[in-house]
């Protein structure tokens, strides 16, 4: 039987062409998160679109192959003030999702407000507040910078706390309209990987051992 200390590795991605944030955390069955790695893949606006997209994809694949996340949590793209920003974010998001799919890594989507609410308690929190809380939650000596890196970690933490870390087992954004106009019909359950099944059993064991097993907001 898995130990209650079995951790799940979650890769959070804050997609963008100029700066794409990546953050990996290990989360145990008690929902305690610890930092594995955080960083940013950057590209230059003067470079061709195909070269920029390729760089983001290669960076994502390198992280996934080396760190072997059990699940990837990525920000769901919404309409913003700048159409160019939305398009660029969508390009980056697409290649990162494709990279995960090529390696069989489950993908989960979370909105910016969900990630903010998960780590700060306020879905409208600013980036500085998110960065400070991510630093506190992970017990870091300094705030991850740039903000894209902290946002990626917030997405990973959000996924572990809000959905139990179990891949795409529950779509937190079901019924939410994206900028493309698509509305997921309903939340769906999907098959779990062996690592995810082990994490779920460890989580249940941890809850039985701790009594209530609830996670307080940090």
Average per-residue pLDDT in the chain? 81
Whether 217 is covered by a domain: the verdict is no
Known binding-site residues equal 14, 75, 148
158 found inside a domain = yes
What pTM was estimated for this model as a whole? 0.76
Quick check: is 70 catalytic?
Answer: no
Q: Looking at the predicted structure, is the pLDDT value of residue 146 above 60?
A: yes
Is the model more confident about 169 or about 135? 135
Candidates 26, 28, 70, 75; catalytic one: 75
Strand order in the sheet with 19-27: 33-42, 19-27, 8-14, 71-75, 107-110
Is 154's pLDDT higher than 70?
yes
- At residue 118, the pLDDT reads 95
Q: List the beta strands (DSSP E) in 62-205.
A: 71-75, 107-110
pLDDT tens digits for range 32-41: 999 999 999 9
Mark whether 14 is an active-site residue. Answer: yes
Distances (CA, A) of 84 to 58, 62, 127: 22, 27, 21
Residue tagged 């983001």 (tokens): 56
- The whole-angstrom separation of Cα 79 and Cα 154 is 20
> Token pair for residue 73?
């949590």
Residue 67 within a domain: yes
Say whether pLDDT at 48 is over 80: yes
- Residues in the annotated binding site for Mg(2+): 14, 75, 148
- pLDDT tens-digit readout, 187-217: 334 455 555 556 556 556 655 554 444 333 3
What is the distance, to the nearest Å, from the Cα of residue 174 to the centroid of all Cα atoms in its chain?
17
* Confidence check: pLDDT of 149 > 80: yes
**Residue 75 annotated as catalytic:** yes
**CATH code of residue 30:** 3.30.420.10
Q: Exposed e or buried b for every residue in 35-67, given b needs 16+ CB within 10 A?
A: bbebbbbbbeeeeeeeebbebbbebbbebbeee
Q: Hey, what are 8's tokens? A: 């799940």
Identify whether 214 is part of a domain: no
Question: Mean pLDDT over residues 184-189, rounded?
Answer: 37
In total, how many domains does the chain have? 1
1 occurs within a structural domain: no
Domain extent for 97: 8-206
| Bridge partner list, 27 | 8, 33
């Amino acid at each position: 039987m898995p130990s209650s200390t079995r951790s799940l590795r979650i890769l959070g991605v804050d997609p963008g062409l100029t700066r794409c944030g990546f953050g990996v955390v290990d989360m145990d069955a008690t929902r305690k998160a610890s930092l594995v790695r955080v960083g940013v893949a950057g590209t230059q606006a003067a470079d061709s679109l195909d070269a920029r997209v390729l760089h983001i994809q290669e960076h994502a694949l390198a992280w996934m192959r080396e760190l072997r996340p059990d699940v990837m949590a990525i920000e769901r793209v919404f309409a913003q003030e700048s159409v160019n920003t939305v398009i660029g974010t969508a390009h980056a998001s697409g290649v990162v999702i494709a990279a995960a799919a090529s390696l069989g890594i489950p993908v989960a989507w979370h909105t910016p407000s969900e990630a903010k609410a998960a780590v700060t308690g306020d879905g409208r929190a600013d980036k500085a507040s998110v960065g400070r809380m991510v630093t506190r939650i992970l017990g870091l000596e300094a705030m991850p910078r740039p903000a894209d890196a902290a946002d990626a970690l917030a997405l990973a933490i959000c996924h572990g706390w809000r959905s139990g870390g179990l891949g795409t087992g529950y779509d937190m954004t079901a019924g939410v309209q994206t900028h493309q106009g698509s509305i997921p019909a309903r939340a769906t359950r999907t098959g779990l990987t062996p690592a995810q099944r082990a994490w779920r059993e460890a989580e249940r064991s941890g809850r039985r051992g701790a009594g209530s097993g609830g996670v307080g907001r940090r």
